[in-house]
Structure 1
Amino acid sequence: MEQSELQQLVEEISLQSFNRSFTHNARFNQRLKTTGGRYLLKSHDLEFNPKQLEVHGIEEFKKIIKHELCHYHLHILNRGYRHRDQDFKQLLEAVGGSRYCQIIPGQRRQESIKYLYRCKACGIEYRRKRRVDTNKYACGKCSGKLILK
């Protein structure tokens, strides 16, 4: 699918599902790895991960388009466009968009755990993103000394 075909598809889905026109740009973004698409607040453009279309097909891709169009139309109407907002959840369910995109095989999120601490007394392991001051903090179960592994 080319950029012009994507633009046309997004405009059609917007009219059919939302009864509103999509007047901004829709494009593919090769750099998107862990998401199906994104709505850009400042420019009101939509970007989509082309691998979602390749791997999961057009039907799943249409659900991703509906998801991003929910952000778009709600933001334009000054209503709750964030994932946590009730307006967003209701509109997404009404139009049949997907809440989450499917995982692309071979593209997992990197685990961001950098530090592993073990209790000297009971042996419980604590995985942390940030470094912990072992002089200040102790094991939560037995209050034993923590050791960086």
Structure 2
Amino acid sequence: MDDIQLQKLVEEISMQSFGIPFKHQATFNKRLRTTGGRYLLQSGNIEINKKYFDVHGEKELIGIIKHELCHYHLHQNKKGYQHKDQDFKNLAKSVGAPRYCTPLPESEVRKQPTMYHCYRCSKCRFLYKRKKRVNTNRYVCGKCGGRLIKVDVVENSF
């Protein structure tokens, strides 16, 4: 499926499910990683994650399109278009739009390993694990006030 076929599908779903035409652009965005799609407030366009179509098929794609069209039509009509708004919840339920999309398999979502910086108190020997570095000249142990000593950077072991 390409952008032209996606545009046609979005227009059809908009007319069938909502009874209102979709007047903006719908495209695939290969850079989307953690979401199935997004509605752009400034332009009114919709972007869809192509990986969801490739992995889960057309049924999942239609659900994502309905979800984004809920945002689109509510925003265009100046109603509550955010997930927390009752207007959005009611419209999504009435057209059968899913609240969340099916997650991609772990191999599809590239996760960066989390690196931890470890510091040990010189007095009480308490071990601190932090994602960001700590200035040991400025900060001391919160338990006893002792000086912090850098131990090692550890990867995902906590």
Q: Which residue of 1 aligns with 2:83?
A: 83
Q: Which residue of 1 aligns with 2:101?
A: 101
Q: Is 2:71 the counterpart of 1:71?
A: yes
Counterpart Cα distance in 2 of 1:14 and 1:137: 59
CA RMSD, 1 decimal:
2.6
- How many angstroms apart in 2 are the aligned matches of 1:122 and 1:84? 46
Partners of 1:127 and 1:82 in 2: CA distance = 34
With normalisation by structure 2, the TM-score equals 0.75
Q: Closer, same or farther in 2 for the Cα pair 1:112/1:86, shift >3 Å? A: farther
Gaps of 5+ in 1: none
Partner of 1:23: 23
Q: Provide the identity percentage.
A: 49
Does structure 1 residue 6 correspond to structure 2 residue 1? no
**Bigger Cα displacement from structure 2, 4-13 vs 86-95:** 86-95
Q: Deviations over 1:70-89 (max 9, x none)?
A: 11011101112122222222
> 1:56-107 CA distances to partner (integer Å, 9 max, x unpaired)?
0111111100111011011101112122222222222222212222222323
Per the alignment, residue 44 of structure 2 pairs with: 44
Structure 2: give runs of 5+ residues left out of the alignment. 153-158
Q: Number of aligned pairs?
A: 146
Tell me, in whole angstroms, the C-alpha distance in 2 between the residues paired with 1:85 and 1:112: 35
Look up the equivalent residue of 2:96 and give its one-letter code.
G
Cα shift at 1:137: 6.2
Alpha carbons 1:67, 1:99 under 8 Å: kept: yes
